[in-house]
Amino acid sequence: MGKLMRKIAMVGAGMSKFGAFPDKNSRDLFGEAFINCLQSIDKNFDVKDIEALYLGNYSSDLFEGQGHLAPMCAELAGLTPKPALRTENACASSGIALREGILAIASGMHDLVLVGGVEKMTDLPTAGVTDTLASAADRIFEFHAGVTFPGLYAMMGSAHMAKYGTKKEDFMLVGIKNHNNGALNPFAQMNKSVADIMKSKIAKAEKQGKPKPAWKDEMDFLHDLSANPYIAYPMRLFDCSLVTDGAACVVLCSEELAKKFTDTPIYIVGTGQGSETFAIHDRPSLTSLRSARSAAQMAYKMAGVEPKDIQIAEVHDCFTIAELIAMADLGFWKPEEVAQAVRDGETALDGSKPLNTSGGLKSKGHPVGATGVAQSVEIFKQMRGQAEGKRQVKFDVECALTHNVGGSGGSCVVHIYKK
């Protein structure tokens, strides 16, 4: 059918601070996000109103040796014995929890649900994180051949360069833009611009009595292999998202109920999900994801809107190339035009279509199972004019989108929001 039986509203949204927190586990992170979410609800809310928990998590199993997170987090939120479930689709885990929360209300089963996402990644050493993430790619045909995620996205980056003439500098520009946004987001893990990171490094060198680095500007800094080494050509350190601990929550309810809690609900008017072949060598293209195109098409159709109607979007920039691919898969630009759009500043905070005002995965951080819901948190704030500080966009946002990818594109989920 592709048409929901009931209209869905988002009435609360909050996230934990993203970062590396050695003294916090999944429980602590979820609790922090839950409290911030509750505090965002305007009026009349009681935790007892919550009927179920939909929780996204990629692999607390491998990161923390803890499975079965949903009843654990439900208990923490005071929801026992209500239904609580976990969804897992790699980095799209909580975007899909959001979708399932929507369907649960649309189905008539529930009127109000809590949707969360959480991931605690930094207990493992970097190699352990890389291996754990690589478990979201094809273990038999990719991981065992030595390919991990930077390598998978690097292949997409190389293909994009070959096919569309995209330059390494275009990847860098995406990173610079997202760091500029994250610098304005108090919840971001890396809330510093690339220029500020460069300045810190210069100051540190001076303090240590080392020769002063000769970087002219942030682009010059990113070209320096000692500051920005290749992880997997053409993806360099500043092209990769972060390893992050964090959580995010939103409260969804039926249209009728929403008015009890706020005068300014945000409606989720479109939801779409798609899949792609598991291993990238089986795909018809390395520069586009069928999962994303299919999810976007489904969401646009349900919402009755077109790409041009979307004013802001949070897109899944796990690597800078992923943002360029998303820009085309979502129909915002043609694939051959995305690099020029970035060069022209179209996707910057003051551009024609700001992308990742939160800082994106690149700067806000990427606690994989929390990312999907954290994208919704940003949209909720931006649409209600509540984004902290200077990252609030200057225009009234009537229509927005989130795009959350799992693995190398095996999963994708897209949501469209209206006032």
Active site residues: 91, 366
Q: To the nearest 10°, the Cα dihedral for 294, 296, 298, 299?
A: 160
Token digits for 295?
């999810």
256 or 336: whose CB is closer to its own copies?
Answer: 256
Nearer to its own copies, 137 or 232 (CB): 137
Name the minimum Å distance from CB 281 to its own copies.
Answer: 12
What minimum distance in Å lies between the beta carbon of 329 and its own copies? 11
Q: Any contact of residue 369 with its own copies (CB under 8 A)?
A: no
Name the residue among 129, 167, 124, 176 with its Cα closest to residue 149.
129
Entry field: residues in the chain? 419
Amino acid found at 21: F
Q: Does 410 bind its own copies (CB under 8 A)?
A: yes
Of 137, 147, 235, 242, which one interacts with its own copies (CB under 8 A)?
137
Residue 171 interacting with its own copies (CB under 8 A) = no
Q: What DSSP string describes 326-342?
A: HHHHTTSS-GGGHHHHH
Q: How far is the CB of 271 from its own copies (least distance, A)?
A: 8
User: Which H or E run includes 12?
Assistant: strand 8-15
Least distance in angstroms from the C-beta of 133 to its own copies:
9
- Tell me whether residue 114 or residue 198 sits nearer to its own copies (CB atom): 114
Q: Does 167 bind its own copies (CB under 8 A)?
A: no
Verify binding: residue 142, its own copies, rule CB under 8 A: no
Task: Choose the binding region for its own copies from 138-146, 158-166, 378-386, 389-397 (rule: CB under 8 A).
Answer: 138-146
Minimum CB separation of residue 79 from its own copies in Å reads 7
- Within 11-50, which residues bind its own copies (CB under 8 A)? 25
Interface with its own copies: number of residues (CB under 8 A): 71
At 185, which amino acid appears?
A: N
Question: Interface residues for its own copies in 53-72 (CB under 8 A)?
Answer: 53, 58-59, 61-62, 64-68, 70-72
Which string of DSSP letters, residue by residue, matches 285-305? -SS--HHHHHHHHHHHHHHT-
* CA 133 to each of CA 16, 249, 256: distance values in angstroms, whole numbers, following the listed order: 22, 23, 41
Q: Does 90 bind its own copies (CB under 8 A)?
A: yes
Rg (Cα) of the chain, in Å, rounded? 20
Instruction: Count CB atoms within 10 A of the CB of residue 211.
Output: 7
* DSSP codes joined into one string, 115-168: EEEEEE-TTS-HHHHHHHHHTTS-TTTTGGGT--HHHHHHHHHHHHHHHH---H
Residues 221-280, interacting with its own copies (CB under 8 A):
271, 273-278
What residues pair up with 119 in beta bridges, in sequence order? Answer: 246
Does position 2 bind its own copies by CB under 8 A? yes
